[in-house]
Amino acid sequence: MTENSQATRPLLEVRALTCERADRLLFRDLEFSLDNGQALQVKGGNGSGKTTLLRIICGLNDSFAGEMYTRGEALAANWDAFHSGLLYIGHRVAVNHVLTPLENLRWSCRLHDPADDDGIREALDQMDLAGYEDSPCYSLSAGQQQRVSLARLLLSSAELWILDEPFTTLDVDGVALLENLVARHASDGGAVLITTHHKLALPRLRALTLGMTR
């Protein structure tokens, strides 16, 4: 496959994906694609497999059958390149409660995208956390802790954002802030795969609904 033909293929393509958990079929023959400039919202009731699907795509769950591709190439054979271009934020707040927001993001950036303290402080400021940079996270509210975790979006160069229930615990202002971040990332050519019960109003938003399969 030539470089030009690869560029026209979806960033992520899922074919005939099937997954069972505890002898229960979550989804069967699931198919969808996601390309740059798009956001895909995964919907479904509790236990329908939304988080499991995201973890499969991130390589955190290998209990599935089916095929996944990136730019027309098998994902399994191009995992390192794919993984380096994605940022996954799970439904649990990804902060160490003993560390400060600044310390948490320093650690995260060392693992993924290098950033200096000025850049980290700017990201925290954009998340309305100015003045809390050096406070231990256990002293912050649940919504503020979530904003610390989501500040990683501002510090990442990842092409694909995979977000699992990121609006949980956010107040009205936090919801609007995150919506704007997602919309801007997609409009800048990024891609977003997101699970949420929140009603999103985004350009080029597509939906995938998972149903309980018995």
| Tens of pLDDT, residues 142-151 | 999 999 999 9
Question: Looking at the predicted structure, is the pLDDT value of residue 184 above 60?
Answer: yes
pLDDT band of 8, cuts 50, 70, 90: confident
- What's the chain's average pLDDT? 92
Q: Which residue has the tokens 């694909």?
A: 160
Q: Which residue has the tokens 């400021």?
A: 125
| Tens of pLDDT, residues 24-49 | 899 999 999 999 999 999 999 988 99
Contacts (Cβ under 8 Å, ≥6 apart) of 30: 14, 16, 17, 18, 53, 66, 208, 210
Question: Looking at the predicted structure, is the pLDDT value of residue 195 above 60?
Answer: yes
Contacts (Cβ under 8 Å, ≥6 apart) of 139: none
Question: Looking at the predicted structure, is the pLDDT value of residue 188 above 90?
Answer: yes
Question: Looking at the predicted structure, is the pLDDT value of residue 5 above 80?
Answer: no
| Tens of pLDDT, residues 154-176 | 999 999 999 999 999 999 999 99
Question: Looking at the predicted structure, is the pLDDT value of residue 214 above 80?
Answer: no
Question: Looking at the predicted structure, is the pLDDT value of residue 2 above 60?
Answer: no
Q: Which residue has the tokens 């950036």?
A: 109
DSSP 47: T
> Crossing angle of helices 117-126/101-111, nearest 10°?
120
Rounded distance, CA 125 to CA 107, Å? 18
Q: How many CB atoms lie within 10 A of CB 8?
A: 10
pLDDT of residue 23: 84
Specify the higher pLDDT residue, 159 or 212.
Answer: 159
pLDDT of residue 7: 61
Rounded distance, CA 23 to CA 105, Å? 39
Specify the higher pLDDT residue, 123 or 1.
Answer: 123
Rounded distance, CA 30 to CA 65, Å? 10
Specify the higher pLDDT residue, 101 or 112.
Answer: 101
pLDDT band of 3, cuts 50, 70, 90: low
% of the chain with per-residue pLDDT over 90: 83
Closest to 34 measured CA to CA, from 64, 14, 50, 54: 14
